[in-house]
Amino acid sequence: MNVVTRFAPSPTWYLHVWWLRTCLYNYLYAKNTGGKFMLRIEDTDRSRYVEWAIENMVEMLTKLWLNIDEGPNNPWNAWPYLQSERLDIYKKYVQKLLDEDKAYYCFCSSDRLDKLRKEQEQLSLPTKYDKKCRYLSEDEIKEKLEAGEPYTIRLKVPENQIVKFKDTVKWKIEINTKDIDEQVLMKTDGFPTYHLANVVDDHLMEITHVIRWEEWVPSTPKHILLYGAFGWEAPEFVHLPLLLWMDKKKLSKRQWDVAVEKYIEKGYLVDALINYMAFLGWNPKSTEEIFSMDELIANFKLENLNKSGAVFDVEKLNWYNSKYLVAWDINDIYEKFMAWAEIYDNNFYKNTLLKADNEYNKSVLLELKTKIKKFDEFKEQTTFFYSDDIKVDTDIMLNEKMKITNMEIVKNGLNLTLNTLKNLEWEIESIDQIKTIFIEAIKEAWMKNWQVLWPVRVALTWEKFSPWALEMMYILGKDKSINRLETLMENL
């Protein structure tokens, strides 16, 4: 069997993180089995349609390297992949069901259906259609159609039968047809419902595995009945457990940023985001947690999907991202960082990063990549690397624990540092080199290391928390370090 999977979102918003996980699992399984991965846009619910959402979906999948084999705008498409462009196909198959007496016209108004639902709720009964129009005579139907009465088309559900299907995650599920509503297949506006379009498209596109969230489990018996009505073989169903927030409630837009674009905008690496999302519901049966995309594809098995919900933990995502930042070569990280900054912080990119030397930027990033969790933290923690504006705060230069109790001690430390730097006949080549020089100079001056390095660090950064003095001197270089220390001494 040639595996074919699909990701079929509705264009109602940005790409959600739970949609990303669904899409990722479909992609990984297709690639693991040498199959095909499709993108289909289910845009038949026009009341919730958002015009820019389709473009956003395609763009985000490209950024996430989830390349589709077939989907919207591909020149080699076999047919349209937007359901709104497939209306004639759905009408053809609905007519087939009508002709075979497997569906019927329903002329009930929305007011009647609302009233029926409320009555059933008051009596604590299941809310479903009462089949009023199922038994209309042909003459009654003809009369209503000729009168132009609005209608929907419903499926005729067989009475008192057991619908069974096997779910890869949920195992065997059985339901009696007496508990299944006679679903609407075609709405009054001529658009199909999700149920009809979903089944017809999955069959025509030869989808072998339907991988979707577990919220669709109650709808699956309806789909099984539709497959049976058409005489088609149903695909294999795989219903994924829900994504939960830290309070173990279903993840939603109201709780946190759930748009994938927001995580890209904050500077999470695609590799880390994909790696983390893969583990939200799947276990590789290994102690390893860091997987490349190729490794995820090679190891992904449907039988290793979890049955219970997975908690979306931002701190765990931060952990993944920091692991990638630390492990990757600085040149690779720098390339990704500059590409990110150009798009998401263009002012900083143009007015600061491009005006600095590439090697200088790399040195700064190398120093900070173990301290930041994502790219959007870089600018906040690097003000002192890119600005020479002196902000004198003598209070933070003093430190009783280090026995720096007066400004005379501060000035002695700064003067020793200035003289040592000015006597250097070469540029600073490494932190180890400058460490050797300064430890010796401080020792010869009969001073303590911290009595020199603390005020120097503050003098170079003007901050209470920053990289240490030796790291700062190495990154800034000899001339810039001398200039900052002299400027500060003048202000003191």
Are 75 and 90 within one domain?
Answer: no
Q: Same domain, yes or no, for 24 and 117?
A: no
Same domain? 229 vs 112: yes
Residues 229 and 93 in one domain: yes
pLDDT per residue as tens, the chain (492 positions):
799 999 998 877 788 888 999 999 999 999 999 999 999 988 877 777 777 778 888 888 889 999 999 888 665 566 788 888 899 999 999 999 999 999 999 999 999 999 999 999 999 888 899 999 999 999 999 999 999 999 999 999 998 888 888 888 877 888 888 888 999 999 998 899 999 999 999 999 999 999 998 888 888 999 999 999 999 999 999 999 888 877 777 766 655 578 899 999 999 999 999 999 999 999 998 899 999 999 999 999 999 999 888 889 999 999 999 999 999 999 999 999 999 999 999 999 999 999 999 999 999 999 888 999 999 999 988 888 888 776 767 777 777 777 777 788 888 888 888 888 888 877 777 788 888 888 888 888 888 888 888 888 888 888 767 788 888 888 888 888 888 888 888 877
* Same domain, yes or no: 111 and 235: yes
Closest Cα to residue 3, out of 404, 297, 260? 297
Same domain flag for 354 and 466: no
How far from each other are the two terminal CA atoms of the chain, in whole angstroms? Answer: 79
* Pairwise CA distance, residues 295 & 316, whole Å: 20
For residue 320, tell me if it sits in a domain: no
Residue 196, CA distances (Å) to 4, 174, 324 in order: 20, 21, 44
Looking at the structure, tell me whether residues 269 and 170 fall in a common domain.
Answer: no
Same domain, 306 and 441: no
Out of 92, 96, 166, 253, pick the active-site residue. Answer: 253
Neighbour tally for 360: CB within 10 Å = 16
The dihedrals phi and psi of 315, each to the nearest 5 degrees, come to -65, -35
Clarify whether residues 270 and 347 are in a common domain.
Answer: no
Phi-psi domain of 231 (left: phi exceeds 0; alpha: psi -120 through 50; beta: other): left
pLDDT at 256: 56
C-alpha 354/C-alpha 367 separation (Å) is 19
Per the domain annotation, does 359 fall within a domain?
A: yes
Tell me, yes or no, whether 389 lies in a domain.
no
For the chain, counts of helices (H) and of strands (E): 21, 11
Q: Which domain holds residue 108?
A: 86-240
| 230 within a domain of the structure (yes/no) | yes
Domain end, chosen from 277, 311, 345, is at: 311
State the Cα–Cα distance between residues 185 and 189, nearest whole angstrom: 12
Q: Are residues 101 and 194 in the same domain?
A: yes
Answer yes or no: do 123 and 233 share one domain.
yes
Per the annotation, the verdict on 253 as an active-site residue is yes
Of the residues 319, 353, 383, which one is the last residue of a structural domain?
383
One DSSP character per residue, 133-146 reads: TTT--HHHHHHHHH
In whole angstroms, give the CA distance from residue 25 to residue 272.
Answer: 16
Same domain, 158 and 174: yes
Q: How many domains does the chain have?
A: 4
CA 153-156-157 angle, 5° bins: 135
Instruction: State the burial class of residue 65 (Cβ atoms within 10 Å of its Cβ: 0-12, 13-18, 19+).
Output: exposed
The radius of gyration of the chain from alpha carbons, rounded to an integer in Å, stands at 32
Asked, for residue 317, whether it belongs to a domain, the answer is no
